[in-house]
């Protein structure tokens, strides 16, 4: 419940200076809330059907992969841009 409250505060108050930071925080909080609810369904015996549990597990893995990808893309792009700038600086010095 605290995560849901935190997500509502982030969405309504928008405490971050940059919009991208706001967006990533919201994406991360949604992924955390989804994962917590899925884990509650796995630990308690709400769903006994094996096929449904497998589908839920695959969906959880998919959400986690999307979350890792969404957080990894800006890091990769920033690294690539920094490498390009360093290469341009080296060419100018030479």
Q: For residue 47, give the 3-state DSSP assignment.
A: coil
pLDDT confidence of residue 74: 85
Q: State which residues form the domain around 8.
A: 2-93
Number of domains in the chain: 1
User: 13: part of which helix (H) or strand (E)?
Assistant: helix 2-13
Residue carrying the six token digits 């839920």 = 56
Report pTM: 0.71
Of 77, 64, 59, nearest to 20 (Cα)? Answer: 77
**pLDDT tens readout for residues 68-79:** 998 898 889 889
Nearest-angstrom CA–CA distance, 63 and 73: 15
- Which residues of the chain carry a pLDDT beneath 70? 94
pLDDT confidence of residue 58: 93
């Amino acid at each position: 419940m605290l995560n849901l409250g935190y997500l509502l505060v982030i969405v309504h108050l928008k405490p971050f200076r940059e919009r991208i930071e706001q967006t990533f925080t919201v994406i991360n909080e949604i992924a955390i809330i989804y994962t917590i609810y899925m884990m509650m369904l796995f630990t308690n015996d709400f769903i006994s059907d094996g096929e449904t549990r497998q589908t839920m597990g695959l969906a959880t893995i998919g959400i986690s992969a999307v979350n890792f990808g969404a957080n990894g893309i800006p890091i990769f792009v920033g690294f690539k841009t920094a490498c390009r700038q360093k290469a341009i600086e080296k060419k100018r010095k030479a």
